[in-house]
Amino acid sequence: MKITIIGAGNMGGAIARGLAKSGHQSVTDITVSDPFGEKLHALKAEYPNINISDDNEEAVKGADYVILAVKPWLVGQVLRAIRLKGNQVLVSIASGISFEELAHDVMVREMPMFRVIPNTAISELESMTLIASRNTNKAQNLFVQDIFYEMGRIMFLDEEKLAAATALSSCGIAYVLKYIQAAMQAGIEMGIRPDDAMELVAQSAKGAAALILERHTHPAVEIDKVTTPGGITIKGINELEHAGFTSAIIKAMKESR
């Protein structure tokens, strides 16, 4: 299968690198199109066999799957210009652009479409990727599932659940990083070198995630294992609650829908 990615920015570039790293797809079957040559040449330097183009319309010719990784306000303009065919499959990465809006812009109402929302960890093959589908068949679902499964974890959802799930996974990664940044600052204030503080906190976050994902346990269960009566951890947990930590996270997630 031939895949064209339109857009070599943060997300398009991450998907291209993720595909190339995963080995799921031959690099020679991947084309990346972007009007800005600097981003394309950076990709080409990393993966010499990848195809690059500054002409979107030319790049999608012969593609089985077209991954649209442009800013939401550019989606309509780009789709109307490239004139996709009914036998092609559109995979939109643009958050907030509905299937109805995509169908209007491609002018092929029954075109198979996916809305895919990865997060930026896709470049490290560690994304939590959300997928919704419309007018697709089992083979197409499996193909897209296999592509993104190679780059982390995936979850198929109904379209109406995407906004809430995006707050948890795509926006959520920024909130996790904000915690890491804040914890680093605390470590530095307590005398830990910045690089050491970053490694300590990041590995702790990675370990916490592994406990949940691999054991299918609950955060409260794992917290209880750390918080011994009268111990230092429960003092810190209680201070977080006094400061409104849980409420702040809930409000941030709801604001991001």
Mean pLDDT of the 50-55 span: 94
Convert 146-159 to b/e letters by CB count within 10 Å (16 or more is b). ebbbbbbebeebee
Mean pLDDT of the 42-63 span: 93
Domain 165-255 falls in which CATH fold? Answer: ProC C-terminal domain-like fold (1.10.3730)
- Of the pLDDT bands very low, low, confident and very high (cuts 50, 70, 90), residue 109 is confident
User: The CATH number of 3-157 is which of 3.30.460.80, 3.40.50.720, 3.20.20.70, 3.40.50.280?
Assistant: 3.40.50.720
For residue range 208-237, what is the model confidence (pLDDT) as tens digits? 999 999 999 999 999 999 999 999 999 999
Euclidean distance between CA atoms 202 and 210, whole angstroms: 12
- Of the pLDDT bands very low, low, confident and very high (cuts 50, 70, 90), residue 52 is very high
Q: What is the pLDDT of residue 17?
A: 87
Nearest CA to 106 out of 134, 146, 129 is that of: 134
Q: How far is CA 73 from CA 76, 78, 94, 225, 250, in A?
A: 7, 10, 9, 47, 28
pLDDT at 245 over 90: yes
Residue 47 CB partners (closer than 8 Å, separation 6+) = 16, 17, 20, 27
Tokens of 244: 């409104």
| Least confident stretch, 68-72, 117-121, 180-184 | 117-121
- Of the pLDDT bands very low, low, confident and very high (cuts 50, 70, 90), residue 124 is confident
Q: What is the 3-state secondary structure (H, E, C) of 75-103?
A: HHHHHHHHCCCCCCEEEECCCCCCHHHHH
Number of helices (H) and strands (E) in the chain: give both, helices first: 11, 8
Helix (H, G, I), strand (E, B) or coil at 245: helix
Q: What is the pLDDT of residue 138?
A: 96
Contact 31, 51 (CB under 8 A): yes
Helix (H, G, I), strand (E, B) or coil at 35: coil
For residue range 143-202, what is the model confidence (pLDDT) as tens digits? 999 889 988 999 999 999 999 999 999 999 999 999 999 999 999 999 999 999 999 999
**pLDDT mean across residues, the chain:** 93
Sketch the domain layout of the chain as residue ranges: 3-157, 165-255
Mean pLDDT of the 85-113 span: 92
Contact 223, 138 (CB under 8 A): no
pTM of the model: 0.89
Q: What is the pLDDT of residue 19?
A: 86
Q: What is the pLDDT of residue 11?
A: 86
Residue 93 CB partners (closer than 8 Å, separation 6+) = 7, 11, 12, 15, 67, 68, 69, 116, 117, 118
Share of the chain above pLDDT 90, in %: 81
- Of the pLDDT bands very low, low, confident and very high (cuts 50, 70, 90), residue 25 is confident
Q: What is the pLDDT of residue 24?
A: 76
Residue 45 CB partners (closer than 8 Å, separation 6+) = none
pLDDT at 37 over 80: no
Q: What is the distance between the terminal CA atoms of the chain, rounded to a whole angstrom?
A: 34
Cβ-based burial of 28 (10 A; exposed 0-12, middle 13-18, buried ≥19) = exposed
Share of the chain above pLDDT 70, in %: 100
Euclidean distance between CA atoms 70 and 187, whole angstroms: 38
pLDDT at 122 over 90: no
Euclidean distance between CA atoms 176 and 254, whole angstroms: 15
pLDDT at 141 over 80: yes
Q: What is the pLDDT of residue 20?
A: 87
